Copies of this chain bind each other. A is one copy, B any other.
Amino acid sequence: MKWDTLDEEPCSLSRTVAVVGDRWTLLILRECFLRVRRFEAFQSSLQITRHLLSERLKKLVRFGILRRVPYSETPKRYEYILTQKGLDLYPVIMAMVHWGDTHMGDERGRPLLHEHKTCGKLFDPVMVCSECGEVLHAKQVHVHAGPGRKEAVG
């Protein structure tokens, strides 16, 4: 597989993996959702090398997930803010957090608790069907080739 063209594959998972499917990007995005915005802050909280952090931030900007916004003119300094496209990754992050809570926990209990401001309660994220609202399970889903697949396959 050629990683440089993974975002053009006729598969939405491949295209997403092309963007967030490396060791650091998801952790950087976690920090973004925790309101981290600046180079030094990412670096010190993640212990990522400055080189890689710089690369990954550029990549996220290039894909339109972060915006690089000046917050000081002299000297020129920038911070990194989630775009709507970036904010839309929230379900991906939350799905992973929930799986980690469920299957990778230890005796210390959950690292973080999530409160839904709308209803005021601590919650778990649940994935449901957009049409009937039922909780989704892999075995109740049937997959069809869509137009993008048919055209790609022939």
> Which residues of chain A have a CB within 8 Å of any CB of chain B?
1, 3, 7-8, 10-23, 26-27, 30, 33-34, 46-48, 64, 82, 85, 87-106, 108-119, 121-134, 136-149, 151-152
Main secondary structure of the interface of A (DSSP, over half): mixed
Question: Does the CB pair B127–A125 fall under 8 Å?
Answer: yes
Which 4 pairs between the two chains have the least Cβ-Cβ distance? Answer: A12-B100, A109-B147, A119-B132, A15-B104
Copies of this chain per assembly: 2
| Cross-interface CB contact of A92 among B14, B96, B141, cutoff 8 Å | B96
Contacts of A20 in B (CB 8 A): 96
**Subset of 6 A-B contacts with CB under 8 Å:** A16-B100, A110-B147, A111-B152, A116-B136, A122-B144, A133-B133
